[in-house]
Amino acid sequence: MAGPVKNVYKRGEGRFTLYRKSWSYRRRRHHRRLILSDTRDQGLDATCLYNAICGVMEAELCMQGIIVKLSVDHLAMMASDWISCASGPQQRCLSTELPTILNNLACVGIYTDDDYKMGCVTGTRYKIRSYEQLSWFKSTTPGAVHKLRERGPLLAVIQISSNFVSDFLSGRVYWFDKAKCSKGRQIPTHAVISTGYAIDNLLPIWEMQNSHGEVG
């Protein structure tokens, strides 16, 4: 993520509506069903990308009248093989892994959570048709906002500085700070679901659904 982009997480939901211009999927419904799935909790597992992908797909399916809970475990199992075949043993990076996962997901699809746990090999698999990569630069923000409102929640990969956890737990607006990253090391990233936006002093603030469970 580049440019002055902030991110609002679960605890910041209350103050999100105070901004001059805002829009969110938080309480939005399709035929009386909430579009967003419940917040997942990845615990200590490095599964943020799989949780975010499933959450975005579930929201898209809900807007088509299909209510399912997709299997994060099934996606994680398949993605491990896809990534190993595509890149071999090297340092992981969500931004480079994502296209590999999505391209394969368009071909094979994933099971629902119930079908995967029961070992139902004849269960329905859900695929993606296509995807488009967007940047977080300020100049391209209007296009991203349009996609969000017209197509549904977005999958976002954001950079993480050391203030991320404290901001998340306290409900403050998180703002990536490169000065708070370890020097000489690759900047860590985290996958979340972009569920809305607001404008604060001409700066875009993205509302995100994390995968660390409900807070507070």
Contact 23, 141 (CB under 8 A): no
Q: Which amino acid is at 95?
A: S
Higher model confidence: residue 205 or residue 105?
Answer: 105
Q: Is residue 1 assigned to a domain?
A: no
Helices (H) and strands (E) counted in the chain, each on its own, are: 7, 8
pLDDT tens per residue, range 11-32: 444 444 444 578 899 889 999 8
Calculate the alpha carbon distances from 129 to 12, 22, 53, 61 in Å. Answer: 33, 29, 13, 12
H-helix or E-strand spanning residue 159? strand 154-159
**Taking a C-beta distance cutoff of 8 angstroms, is the pair 10, 214 a contact?**
yes
Supply the range of the domain harboring residue 50.
6-209
CA atoms within 13 A on the CB side of 158: 28
Which residues 6+ apart lie within 8 Å of 211 measured at CB? 39, 40, 41, 42, 47, 48, 51, 52, 55, 191, 192
Percent of the chain with pLDDT over 90: 38
Residue 101, SS3 per DSSP: helix
pLDDT tens sequence across 88-147: 545 567 777 899 999 999 999 999 999 999 998 888 999 999 898 887 666 677 788 888
Reported confidence tier of residue 155, pLDDT bands at 50, 70, 90:
very high
The predicted model gives 158-165 an average pLDDT of: 89
Cα 135 to Cα 156: distance, rounded to the nearest angstrom: 9
Place of tokens 């579930």: 58
Range 196-205 average pLDDT: 79
If one compares 56 and 215, the residue with the highest pLDDT of the two is: 56
For residue 215, being part of any structural domain is answered with no
- The pLDDT confidence band at residue 62, using thresholds 50, 70 and 90, is very high
In this predicted structure, the answer to whether residue 36 has a pLDDT above a threshold of 70 is: yes
| Domain total of the chain | 1
Tell me whether residue 214 is in a domain.
no
User: Distance (Å, rounded) from C-alpha 103 to C-alpha 75?
Assistant: 13
Provide the CATH number for the domain around residue 119.
3.90.70.10
Cα dihedral 101→106→107→110 (10° resolution): 80
Amino acid at 151: R
pLDDT at 19: 47
Cα(32)–Cα(13) distance, integer angstroms: 21
Give this prediction's pTM: 0.83
Determine the pLDDT at residue 6: 47
> Phi and psi for 120 in degrees, rounded to 5?
-80, 95
50 is a domain residue:
yes
Which residues, listed in sequence order, are joined to residue 23 by a DSSP beta bridge? 197
* Helix (H) / strand (E) containing 120: none
pLDDT band for position 10 (cuts 50, 70, 90): very low
Q: Are 210 and 168 in contact (CB under 8 A)?
A: yes
3-7, 120-124, 159-163, 188-192: which range is least confident on average? 3-7
Mean pLDDT of 41-47: 78
Confidence band, pLDDT 50/70/90 cuts, at residue 73: very high
